Homo-oligomer: A and B are copies of this chain.
Amino acid sequence: MRDVPTTSPVVVDAMGGDHGPAEIVRGAVQARREHGVPVVLTGRAGVVRAELARLGAVGEIDVAHADDVVPMTERGAGAVRMALSSLAVGLGLVRDGAGAAFVSAGSTGAVAACATDRLGPAPAVLRPALAVALPTTAGGATVLIDAGATVDPTPEMLAQFALLGASYAQLVLGVADPRVGLLSIGAEPGKGNRLTRRAETLLRDLPLRFHGPVEGGDVLTGVADVIVTDGFTGNVVLKNVEGTVRATLALLATEVGAGVGAVGGAGAGAVGSAGAGTQDVADPEALRRVAGRYDPETHGGAALLGLTGTVVVAHGSSRARTIARACVVAHDLARGEVVARLGDRLAVRPAR
């Protein structure tokens, strides 16, 4: 990314997501008009141009045609084989330097697999990692990395994830000197598993503000700006946070009789047989606002870091507003040259 001019556009996959291309195209136009982010859309030219026409934006945004669409049900290998998909075409533009970053609301697995295949790891980076910003009770956000890209990392990879996560916190969250925690199961010496015990020795030697081990209960308290873990544990934790918020609001809805409506979509799945109550002691709006804070849509997308181009995966349910936000994040990350700025620091010494 070092040689990509910051004026290079963010390439947006118009075909991914549950509401694409209509919402995706609207989001891309918002990103350009309201945030001044240059964008290019990839997908079926006819369909995409029709959406642009509806918004009077035909001349404003270039379209790179792609015949195929990767289905939302496709999670990996299958997507990689589709050479003419909007994913493949869009990532090709980034690989060839015609785009600064890539945004898609497609299946995270498919986007991650295609991006890793098309872009490959940036110089000195061992493996990519998925970064997700979670809102905390302290009022800010904590970056969870890796949220699912690399399920069996080495300690050296975890150390690089820490550096990538710290860059993300600086560039996207504006935290000057991020505190980095290592997700583990206790702070005492010898606690944790083989991976975290070896990673801890590496993290203590890195040029970053290492907070030390944190536990599962610290993910939403803001005790650290960045929480590093392997892609398996990180993905389980990310989904467990979403599920537990839904479950808590669903239980509360039944307890106070606010019912399904009170927690909206976020609670509907978990409420199950609870059904709608009669009295209405809790403020449904308040329940909705809390549900909203942990609704995947409001995370603003997960960033796949460590590849030769920046990739932001917006949630499949993303509406225009979320897509526009993802474009801004992708633009900021590309301009910040996440990997390039780390330079020599990425050369992590092997764990003792």
Give the interface of A toward B (CB within 8 A): 75-77, 109, 136-139, 148, 151-152, 183, 185-186, 188, 190-194, 196, 215-222, 229-233, 235-252, 255-256, 269-274, 281-283, 286-287, 289-290, 293-294
Contact = CB atoms under 8 A, between A and B. Distances in A.
Contacts of A236: 183, 185, 215-216, 229, 233, 236-237
Nearest to A150: B193
Contact of A251 (B137, B186, B282): B137
Count of this chain's copies in the oligomeric assembly: 2
Q: Which 6 A-B pairs have the closest CB atoms?
A: A217-B243, A216-B239, A216-B240, A244-B244, A216-B236, A220-B247
A217 B240 contact: yes
Nearest to A283: B281
Given A186-B75, A243-B217, A270-B221, A251 B193 contact: no
Given A192-B232, A219-B240, 4 more contacts: A215-B239, A220-B270, A221-B270, A281-B286
A179 to B, nearest CB: 16
A286 B256 CA distance: 6
B237 A151 contact: no
Nearest to A291: B248
A151 B220 CA distance: 23
Contact of A192 (B151, B229, B282): B151
Contacts of A191: 75
A242 B270 contact: no
B256 A239 contact: no
A216 B188 contact: no
A233 B239 CA distance: 13
A329 B252 CA distance: 28
Contacts of A183: 236
Contact of A193 (B109, B190, B232, B248): B232
Contacts of A249: 248, 252
Contact of A217 (B230, B242, B256): B242
A185 B286 contact: no
B271 A283 contact: no
A138 B254 CA distance: 12
18 contacts: A75-B186, A109-B188, A137-B250, A138-B273, A151-B192, A183-B236, A215-B235, A221-B269, A221-B270, A221-B272, A233-B233, A240-B244, A244-B245, A244-B248, A248-B290, A249-B252, A251-B290, A251-B293
Contacts of A290: 248, 251-252, 255
A281 to B, nearest CB: 4
